[in-house]
Structures are given as structure tokens and as C-alpha cells.
Structure 1
Amino acid sequence: MSQAKVDRYKEEKANRKKILAKEKRKRIAGTICGWLIALLIVGWAGYSGYNAYEKSRPIKTIYADLDAINNYMDTLSTEE
């Protein structure tokens, strides 16, 4: 082996723990980012599906008899 290869090997051997720790951090960060992206896609799909479902449902109309309130409001005096 040439002297340059020997020097590179010695340097790699000396920093092996640092290199392996850095690779491990990158792998964990990649895994976490992948899960977050997958979770966001599933959440977005669920939200969009729910909105589409709600829009396709008929609108519920509620009728209320407000005659009693209107009569009461008419009896109130606005003058002091």
C-alpha cells in the first residue's frame, strides 16, 4: 500500500467512533423525517377526505319560532 493509503486508513481508524456516530445521527434523522412526511400526507388525505364527505352531505335546516322574542322586543321601550 502506498503511504497515502496507510495515512488515510490510520486517520479513519482514529475517527471511526465519530464517523459511526455521525452516520447513526443521519440515519435517525432521515427515519424521523420520513415518518413525519408520511404522517403529514396521511393527515392531509384524511382531512381532505373528511371535507369532501361533509360537503357532499345535505345541509340541515333548522326552523325556529321567534314570535315570542319579537313580541318581547317590540314591548321594550327605546326611550329613556
Structure 2
Amino acid sequence: MSQKKVDAYKAEKANREKIMKKEKLILTIEKLAALVACMVAVCWIGYSVYGKVTEGQETVTTETVMDTSALDSYLNGISADSEAE
């Protein structure tokens, strides 16, 4: 081996831990970015499908009217009886 190759090998060996940490960090960031991109794609597709499914459906609103006068008079009678005691 030439002296140049030996010096390069020694420099690489001395910084091997630093290089490995940097490569691990870059790999982790790449994985995280891919995960975020996949999540965005899945959410976008899901929202689009939901929009297409609910697009043709009409929203039917049913209004219910209830007469509570009998219940009100009953409760007023109970409260009047408890106040009289």
C-alpha cells in the first residue's frame, strides 16, 4: 500500500464513529421524511374518497316538535308541594 492510502485509511478509521453517527442520522431523517410523505398521501386519498362518497348524498334534516306542557305542569306541581312542606 502506498503511504497516501495508509494515511487515508488511518484518517477514516479515526473518524469512523463520527461518520457512522452522521450516516445513521441521515438515514433516520430520510425514513422520517418518507413516513411523513406516506401519511400525507394516505390522508389525502382518504379525504378525497370521503368527499366523492358523500358528494351525491343529500343531508335530510328532520325537525321534531314536542309539547312539554304536561311535563312542565307536573314538575311545577312537585316543586310547589316540596315548598309547601
In the TM superposition, residue 58 of structure 1 has moved relative to its aligned partner by 2.9
Give 1:2's aligned amino acid.
Answer: S
Which protein is bigger by CA-based radius of gyration? 2
Q: Which residue of 1 aligns with 2:35?
A: 35
C-alpha RMSD of the superposition? 1.4
Q: Which runs of 4+ in 1 moved over 6 A?
A: none
Q: Which runs of 5+ in 2 are unaligned?
A: 64-85
Give 1:36's aligned amino acid.
Answer: V
**C-alpha distance in 1 between matches for 2:16 and 2:24:** 12
Residue deviations 1:25-60, cap 9 Å, x none? 011001111110000000000000111111021343
TM score, norm. by length of structure 1: 0.72
Q: Which runs of 5+ in 1 are unaligned?
A: 64-80
Q: Which residue of 2 aligns with 1:48?
A: 48
* Equivalent residues, number: 63
TM score, norm. by length of structure 2: 0.68
